[in-house]
Amino acid sequence: MFCYQCEETAKGTGCEKVGVCGKDGTTAELQDVLTHLAKGVAMYAHRAAELGEREGRVDAFVIEALFTTVTNVDFDPERLLAAIRRGVAIRDEAKSIYERACAKAGRQPEILSGPAVWQPEADSDALVFQGQELSIRVRQGLLGEDIAGLQELILYALKGAAAYVDHAMILGKEDPRLFAVFHAALDFLTQDSPAVDDLLAWALKVGELSVQAMELLDAANTGTYGHPEPTPVRITSVKGKAILVSGHDLKDLEAILKQTEGKGINVYTHGEMLPCHAYPGLKKFPHLVGNYGGAWQDQRQEFDAFPGAIVMTTNCIQKPKESYHDRIFTTGLVAWPGVTHIGADKDFSPAVEAALAAPGFEEDEPEKTILVGFGHQAVLGVADKVIEAVKSGAIRHFFLVGGCDGRKSGRSYYTEFARQVPQDCVILTLACGKFRFNKLEFGSIGGIPRLLDMGQCNDAYSAIKVAGALAEAFGCGVNDLPLSLVLSWYEQKAVTVLLALLHLGVRNIRLGPSLPAFITPKVLDVLVEKFALKPIQTPEEDLVAILG
Ligand code: SF4
Ligand code: SF3
């Protein structure tokens, strides 16, 4: 195996025997096979789309295949094998659609090669062996590390964007134009000798796709559950039976809330589900009582201590401990071998039963709350107040401190940074990195809280909207606003957000805790020159550099 798609990659260069995340060699090779097949499907789907033909099953397969291979989603080789077998059938279907479209248009279909015709072995061991031949290492040898790294940059952003599109699709929102870009980008990634300039252009095009994917998901979330409203969320436990819901999927949470109504079970959010408390369509359930724990990397201790059932709706799952193996459940694309998977019927009764069988919390802890729900609608609703505060000098600067959390000790940078942000500055935050500081006391400026939690990683869209509106109000560009972005990355959705920001021309982004292994020094030079992308230094140095 070789994988360098996340920030915790071994030695900062690549996992080669087993993933730091827990992904073993077999799972890694099968993920490479699935990605290769998705490219093959996309080669046909892209050409069919150019002739005006598409098929929902084909589009959905590509999205799900990409999301499946995101870090900490699917660790189950059996499910990956099933997805690969399905992929072969879907590729045949995509090919037929393309050929029919050609016949209709009176032209000869192109004879395709590479992933379009690649044949997986029937035997699973042989298939794993084939996966090794598809390794990034092989491409690095053929194309060089710069080119292979840029290809991966594009692929990883597509994986993250696929996660957002998948969540939107689950809520019934889709846009064929976005599928077409996924297919075209994957098709581009099958080219034998792509030029660096073309790769960079595609990276920005995928950045554009990422903005559109986040916009689509925002419309799906807010269209289904209403716009997030500033809401205090309890972070201490309530006496009684309990289910903890982790991941990113709002509809799964809704289903669990409905299926636990009147059963004497309290529902808690975990990690990236925290923002759910702010949606009118979810906060209306009185048994959605609070948020438990912190970011994903602490889950093994936290789940161990949680006296109820746990449901993982997407990333980031970690190897379950024996102590809670029987009371953790997966659903959707997330999977761990041997863990009960709730299927597409979304019948969560196994989790309900496990919650009822577990002891639950024995007593109420003293109530403590934090404030969430500052999506674009809530922030822009007080835009006049914000603009006035900037003009009067009451607010000197905005910092967007957001992104993924992780295990590295260097991530304490973000806690320290947030702590040291001067009192006349406001912090916007999103994604799970905020658990490093969201329980600190920040106070407010003229009634505006100094810490505004905008939501999940995909809610970077809210930050983009707010920045755009402020730039318009001040008659300047986003880069001229008193706004600095200090981002933390771990998995591929953060790559998606980064390319979205670069596509929008945002400069001077500070990125940490370390730079991606797939960005080679040569590519970094280009990003520094074009976008002034900067690695984080110390909080003190960065604050001085930003504020003077
Ligand atoms: Fe390693 Fe990250 Fe890949 Fe897991 S996802 S194998 S930790 S690079
Ligand atoms: Fe976190 Fe996994 Fe990226 Fe949604 S939950 S931001 S790491």
DSSP string, 402-415: EE---S-GGGHHHH
User: At 284, is the pLDDT very low, low, confident or very high (cuts 50, 70, 90)?
Assistant: very high
Q: Which residue bears the tokens 């001085």? A: 544
Rounded CA gap, 467 and 39, in Å?
35
Length of the chain: 548
Instruction: State if residue 348 touches ligand 2 by the CB under 6 angstroms criterion.
Output: no
pLDDT at 308 (0 to 100): 98
Share of the chain above pLDDT 90, in %: 100
**Confidence class for position 340, pLDDT limits 50, 70, 90:** very high
Tell me the two tokens of residue 70.
């995101």
- pLDDT band, very low/low/confident/very high, at 343 (cuts 50, 70, 90): very high
Residue 125 CA, ligand 1 centroid: distance in Å: 22
User: How many C-beta atoms surround the C-beta of residue 92 within 10 A?
Assistant: 12
Identify whether the C-beta of residue 336 lies closer than 8 Å to the C-beta of residue 390.
no
Same domain for 320 and 389, yes or no, is no
| Any domain includes 230 | no
Which ligand places an atom closest to the C-alpha of 299? 2
Rounded mean pLDDT of the chain?
Answer: 97
Atom of ligand 1 nearest to the CA of 19: 6
Write down the pLDDT at residue 545. Answer: 98
- Break the chain down into helix, strand, coil percent, rounded to 5: 55, 15, 35
- CA 288: distance to chain centroid? 24
Are both 31 and 164 inside the same structural domain?
Answer: yes
Of 315, 453, 511, the residue with max ligand 2 atoms within 8 A of its CB, to mutate for a pocket test, comes to 315
Q: Compute, in angstroms, the gap from residue 406 CA to the centroid of ligand 1.
A: 12
The pTM (predicted TM-score) of the whole model is 0.98
Same structural domain, 334 and 433: no
Distance 17 CA to ligand 1 centre (A): 10
Closest residue by Cα to atom 3, ligand 2, is: 404
Mean pLDDT along residues 272-298: 98
Q: Coil, helix or strand for 468? A: helix
How confident is residue 513, by pLDDT bands cut at 50, 70 and 90? very high
Q: What is the pLDDT of residues 200-226, one digit of tens each?
A: 999 999 999 999 999 999 999 999 999
Residues 27 and 56 grouped into a single domain:
yes
Does residue 20 sit in the same domain as residue 162? yes
Instruction: Note the pLDDT of residue 342.
Output: 98
Confirm whether 252 is domain-assigned. Answer: yes
Query: What are the start-end ranges of the H helices in 382-439?
Result: 383-392, 412-420
Q: Which of 198, 224, 250 is the last residue of a domain?
A: 224
Domain range for 271: 239-357
Query: Is the CB–ligand 2 distance for residue 6 below 6 Å?
Result: no
Q: Which residues line ligand 1 (CB under 6 A)?
A: 3-6, 8-9, 15, 19-21, 23, 71
Average pLDDT over residues 254-274: 98
Closest-CA residue, ligand 1 atom 2, reads 6
Tell me whether residue 205 is in a domain: yes
Question: Based on the domain organization, do 29 and 137 belong to the same domain?
Answer: yes
Which pair of structure tokens corresponds to residue 502? 């670069």
293 and 413 assigned to the same domain:
no
User: Which tokens is 69 given?
Assistant: 């291979």
CATH number assigned to the domain comprising residue 341? 3.40.50.2030
Domain count, the chain: 3
172-209 pLDDT tens trace: 999 999 999 999 999 999 999 999 999 999 999 999 99
Report which protein residue has its CA nearest ligand 1's atom 6: 19
Judgement on whether residues 154 and 26 belong to the same structural domain of the protein? yes
Q: What is the pLDDT of residue 482?
A: 97
Q: What is the pLDDT of residues 483-497, one digit of tens each?
A: 999 999 999 999 999
